[in-house]
Amino acid sequence: MFLNFVNRLIPLRSSRQRILAAALVVAAVAVACGTDSGSATGGSAADARGPGRSAGPVVKASNASPSFTVETFHHGTYDLDSTVGRPVLINFWFPSCPPCRAELPDLQAAYEEFGDEIDFLGVQQTSVDTVEEGIEFLGELGITYPNFADETETSSSALQIGYRVFSFPTTIFLNRDHSINRTWNGLITESNLREQIEAVINS
């Protein structure tokens, strides 16, 4: 049935062309949906918190983290280069993202437990919600670790682009030398979060 739909949408002569087109459509839908669908490769299906809340894949990476200096909402200036020797967790979110709302309390709890061993930094994506809405959202959830809005006078989403973040939420774990250890796409559960934090602290 799906191949028939694709054939009507994109009339192609060979079965091979139709199958390839179907695969491309599925891939495009998966990217557009972000955390609304998908299975976990970094955690088991049992770790997901209901429909549309994938635990997300863990992707190993060896590239260096982009350097940045930002003004947080309530914690002053955060300069990544000044924290070399200390691992960092960077979480990308926005207020109207349901999986972001679901995981932030677990991030806060992890911050309260591991904050002496790893930096936590939240990054609000601002193309959907305002900065004021972001600050109000964090206050509503009782989030106390540093957060900032990913925008400047001349651009927006600069850090999101630098870290190649294409879906929300996304959590990036940096080693002590600030190379990227792991990237977690989608909602991360409490158990998976603890596992990844302990791994990067002990790496």
pTM of the model: 0.71
pLDDT at 92 over 90: yes
Structural domain spans, the chain: 2-35, 38-201
**What pLDDT, in 10s, does the model give residues 31-48?**
333 332 222 333 333 333
DSSP string spanning the chain? -HHHHHHHHS--SSHHHHHHHHHHHHHHHHHHHGGGS---SSS-GGGS-STT-----EEE--SBPPP-EEE-SSS-EEEGGGGTTS-EEEEEE-TT-HHHHHHHHHHHHHHHHHTTTSEEEEEE-TTTS-HHHHHHHHHHHT--S-EEESB-SS-BSHHHHHTT--SSSEEEEE-TT-BEEEEEES---HHHHHHHHHHHH--
What CATH superfamily is the domain 38-201? Answer: Glutaredoxin (3.40.30.10)
**What pLDDT, in 10s, does the model give residues 62-87?**
477 888 999 999 999 999 999 999 99
